Chains A and B, each alone.
Chain A
């Protein structure tokens, strides 16, 4: 049922308008993200990055236009089948009740289980692998309410890996992470892009240098509601970024390793 054409785009938008309370974030946005690609969304605070991402995740209705994942709209797919195709990393999450780290990661198996199924040993081992991939294997039995901010973020990523979708929509995946874990996380998702599964990812980032290095494409959301998209090499440059952030930036380095310093 979930067999999809390996070259068909995993995420497409047509004539997408997104806004909130009268503010327009993007107009008539056309996106098409094939398997194996990764897209960075860059913009200032309040430019609508998270709102756009939740529209792309089917969690919020667009003002106009449509979003399709693997060629089908969210309403047509339903919540459960959508969850087997796309996963969403929230910008923040709070736990009202205590539960263990392993239990929290296992939540990702929900869309793969039938109504009366309980999580099997195979599901548990998938969750343990995901925890190991983000370096939380040792904390499997800890209560989530005792974790640090960075550990919670890595746990959320592990839950997403346990869900094992084809399309990853990541809202600030590097929030709360130290430098080491920032690079490890970006490398983790690059590996998924290159893997047999050819996952695609969309991520909201605040560091254009990392976006240029790890994402093949970029989408810049300007404050006036205009957008600029294309391959990272073309779109991410000191001129466009200076305009984007409203602060002059100078490019340092070359090739894949480019950094943008406040001038």
Chain B
């Protein structure tokens, strides 16, 4: 268990990493911009490079950071709620619901706002469906919730595949990009940044109770945690965080699964540190991945979801083998 001091040091280091990743995202691209020019662009308007930084790269980097943070936070919360280190934000079908909404909007030829709106409606629909079905009589067990979520996700997956099969050819590319996760269509990052802050601030006061919930519902209840409202709250907050991220950036994979894992391997399973550290690390990872996605094969842009997987998988496997050796 980290001391409060050690936790703050780790968070400060991760905050530094987050700043570096955003600085990198502002500098790199089809027009390289020096650090000084970036600083100048941020403080006063004017100049082509200023325009590129302020209206293109900064909103995209901030949206990426917020979405990465939301996904990592949702993953960390769901891993505790389901007591399963393999849970990710999509395991309960939220991304599937959002996918149906977004693809429907693309097929119907809606603009970015319409796609986001329908994606959010789809995510909320899947969330309410899973919540309602998992509740049933006899209450909530994490295995029942998990099974219901997995089945709803599978159903959504089938509908998504059906829509892909029936969609007109000229829409297919946009649909595939959305499904793999894409930050090229982002607008104003304010809303999603506010959401990220709100979700983190709501979760942090319950972090020690989440530590107990991770050890089992009965154990937590016996040690003074009001388990029922806590579980519902965690489900709601994690679902909203996922819905917000998926609505803004599509179903970007791996961040929500791998980032909480990486942080847990590096710092232990104390949610008081794990939750904010996951936000910072997840945000940074997505910003770096997105920067690579738009520069590696420039001018062609890759779906960022491919990059998060290509970075995340080897890093994860490395830490996992190192962790196992250290423990043995």
Q: Do the two shown chains form a genuine complex with each other?
A: yes
Any A CB within 8 A of the CB of B226: yes
CB of B311, distance to nearest CB on chain A (Å): 24
CB of A35, distance to nearest CB on chain B (Å): 20
Kindly specify which of A4-12, A76-84, A205-213, A214-222 makes contact with the partner chain: A76-84
Whether A96 lies near B222 (C-beta < 8 A) is no
Give the docked Cα–Cα distance between A228 and B321 (Å). 56
Contacts of B223 in A (CB 8 A): 83, 107-108, 110-111, 163
Whether B224 lies near A111 (C-beta < 8 A) is yes
Contact with B along A84-112 (1 / 0, CB 8 A): 10111010011111111011101110110
Whether A93 lies near B269 (C-beta < 8 A) is no
Residue of B whose beta carbon sits closest to that of A83: B224
Contacts of B268 in A (CB 8 A): 99, 103
Any B CB within 8 A of the CB of A146: yes
Contacts of A86 in B (CB 8 A): 222
Whether B211 lies near A107 (C-beta < 8 A) is yes
Contacts of A81 in B (CB 8 A): 224
Contacts of A103 in B (CB 8 A): 1, 268, 270
Residue of A whose beta carbon sits closest to that of B270: A103
* Contact A99:B269 (CB < 8 A) given known A93-B216, A94-B216: yes
Contact with A along B214-239 (1 / 0, CB 8 A): 11101101111111000000000000
Whether A97 lies near B224 (C-beta < 8 A) is no
CB of B5, distance to nearest CB on chain A (Å): 9
Contacts of B270 in A (CB 8 A): 103
CB of A88, distance to nearest CB on chain B (Å): 4
CB of B197, distance to nearest CB on chain A (Å): 18
Any A CB within 8 A of the CB of B196: no
Contacts of A102 in B (CB 8 A): 1
Whether B212 lies near A110 (C-beta < 8 A) is yes
Whether A110 lies near B224 (C-beta < 8 A) is yes
CB of B10, distance to nearest CB on chain A (Å): 14
Give the docked Cα–Cα distance between A54 and B211 (Å). 22
Contacts of B173 in A (CB 8 A): none
Whether A90 lies near B1 (C-beta < 8 A) is no
Give the docked Cα–Cα distance between A128 and B224 (Å). 22
CB of B246, distance to nearest CB on chain A (Å): 26
Give the docked Cα–Cα distance between A118 and B205 (Å). 12
Which residues of B119-133 are within 8 A (CB) of A?
none
Any A CB within 8 A of the CB of B84: yes
Any A CB within 8 A of the CB of B189: no
CB of B224, distance to nearest CB on chain A (Å): 3
Contacts of B272 in A (CB 8 A): 118
Any B CB within 8 A of the CB of A18: no
Contacts of A104 in B (CB 8 A): 215
Any B CB within 8 A of the CB of A143: yes
Residue of A whose beta carbon sits closest to that of B1: A103
Whether A110 lies near B208 (C-beta < 8 A) is yes
Interface centre among B84, B85, B211 (most CB of A within 10 A): B211
Give the docked Cα–Cα distance between A143 and B327 (Å). 8
Contacts of B83 in A (CB 8 A): 96
Residue of B208, B222, B227, B269 touching A97 (CB-CB under 8 A): B269
Contacts of A83 in B (CB 8 A): 222-224
CB of B286, distance to nearest CB on chain A (Å): 24
Any B CB within 8 A of the CB of A113: yes
Whether B327 lies near A146 (C-beta < 8 A) is yes
Residue of B whose beta carbon sits closest to that of A169: B222
Give the docked Cα–Cα distance between A110 and B218 (Å). 14
Any B CB within 8 A of the CB of A147: no
Which residues of A140-196 are within 8 A (CB) of B?
143, 146, 163
Give the docked Cα–Cα distance between A113 and B83 (Å). 24
Give the docked Cα–Cα distance between A208 and B92 (Å). 48
Residue of A54, A97, A100, A163 touching B264 (CB-CB under 8 A): A97
Contacts of B327 in A (CB 8 A): 98, 143, 146
Whether B1 lies near A93 (C-beta < 8 A) is no
- Some 21 contacts from A to B, beta carbons below 8 A apart, are A54-B218, A59-B221, A59-B222, A78-B226, A79-B227, A87-B222, A90-B216, A90-B219, A93-B216, A97-B85, A100-B1, A102-B1, A103-B268, A104-B215, A107-B215, A110-B208, A110-B223, A110-B225, A113-B208, A115-B205, A163-B223
Give me the 7 closest cross-chain CB pairs, A-B, nearest first.
A83-B224, A111-B224, A80-B224, A88-B222, A96-B83, A97-B269, A118-B4
A57-B222, A81-B224, A88-B222 known; 10 new pairs, CB 8 Å cut-off, are: A59-B221, A79-B225, A82-B224, A83-B222, A86-B222, A90-B218, A93-B215, A99-B268, A103-B270, A118-B4
